[in-house]
Structure 1
Amino acid sequence: MKQTKPKYRQIIDAAVEVIAENGYHSSQVSKIAKRAGVADGTIYLYFKNKEDILVSLFQEKMGVFIERIESATTSRQTPSEKLRVLVETHFEQLSEDHHLAVVTQLELRQSNKMLRMKINSVLKKYLDVIDEIVEEGIREEVFRDNINRKLVRQLIFGTIDEVVTNWVMKEERYDITKQAKEVHEMIVEGLLRRP
């Protein structure tokens, strides 16, 4: 399987750096190859084209990202704790990887419709984690049951995503992980069941 080969990972890691530094449209395959320490032709043994590299890097990196979030949230007791850990883990992971933050928050949004559809299919697993937490909160009567679940999912993901985008746009001049508590509190306040 190509994903387990060292050169595949080298190319993915190099692509994240090159795209973050130069922008997707200015990132030639030759720049990615040079950063990865492979010949230009080697890239085509693993990827069809630059678009395939972008989709693959998103699948690869977000796969790991989502696994960490799933693992962190399943070990928590309450739906509120799970949401807190989801927000914290999201912020921590992107604060640890500047290049990935730039690619996910800026470069992927400039892609064409077909590419965005492929990216959305990867994000679905993350959105499923949010849905499961919200459903658990409703079942346990911690969260209100008269909520539009799709809208709640959009609000949770959209809030987290916008906070990260703002942080990237401000050139990461502050510690985003310190905002996790406040973001979590705002989200949960809107979901809590009232007596």
Structure 2
Amino acid sequence: MAKRTGEKYEAIIEAAVRVIAEFGYHQAQVSKIAREAKVADGTIYLYFDNKDDVLISLFNEKMGAFISDMEQALSKVPSPVDQLRQLIYLHFSYLGSDKKLAIVTQIELRQSNPVVRKEIGLILKRYLAVIDRVLQSGVEHGLFRKDFDIRIARKMIFGTIDETVSSWIMDDFKYDLMDQVDPLHQLFLQGIGS
């Protein structure tokens, strides 16, 4: 298998986002992805075992890079209250700027098989750990209440952010996702703020 780097690899990942967003995962044949990437069908198999591997790799590349960027951005924000807002902002900004990627991550990944979901869960654990760190820091600095369960708050925060993006997609992008940042931030602070 070829190294998962380089122009062809990147072209396949980008093509997979477009094809899966347009046709849905189950109708996105490898040949369509190859045609969109302007590579031969067989080239896909130099980098990926199968279509599931393309989807897993797509998620790992896109969300892995997003999580790394988010961790770096949050490290520059001193207040956990502001980190929480920045986390919401970055999530909405990232998916709001790429509607096709939003469709793939919010809709198509959830319809995949258990093996794909398990692999995707591994990268999501990194994201959830970021939320946990923000919450724990807020508690330690006296900015968030001490009497809440961080795991439940994390589920509430991630679930709300996630559902907001899904609803935005299901509503055919009729409103600006960024308009939801401050209302959600205030809602979260009402629940966990000290």
When the two structures are superposed, what TM-score results if normalisation uses the length of structure 1?
0.97
Q: Which residue of 2 aligns with 1:64?
A: 65
Q: Which residue of 1 aligns with 2:30?
A: 29
**Conserved? CA contact 1:11–1:36, under 8 Å:** yes
Q: Which residue of 1 aligns with 2:43?
A: 42
Check if 1:139 corresponds to 2:128: no
**Cα drift, residue 3 of structure 1:** 2.6
Q: Which residue of 1 aligns with 2:172?
A: 171
Q: Deviations over 1:108-129 (max 9, x none)?
A: 0101112111101011111111
Partner letter of residue 95 of structure 1? G
Which range moves more in the overlay, 108-117 or 82-91? 108-117
Taking the TM superposition and a 5 Å limit, the aligned residue runs for 1:68-79 are 68-79=69-80
**Cα drift, residue 135 of structure 1:** 0.4
Distance of 1:9 and 1:152 partners within structure 2: 36
Q: Which residue of 1 aligns with 2:105?
A: 104
Distance of 1:181 and 1:70 partners within structure 2: 20
Check if 1:188 corresponds to 2:189: yes
- Structure 2 portions without partners, runs of 5+: none
Q: Which residue of 1 aligns with 2:123?
A: 122
User: How many residues are aligned here?
Assistant: 193
Identity fraction in percent: 49
- Structure 1 portions without partners, runs of 5+: none
Partner letter of residue 68 of structure 1? D
Q: Which runs of 4+ in 1 moved over 4 A?
A: none
Q: Which residue of 2 aligns with 1:84?
A: 85
Find the residue that maps to 1:4 and give its secondary structure: coil
Task: Calculate the aligned-residue CA RMSD, in Å.
Answer: 0.9
Partner letter of residue 54 of structure 1? L
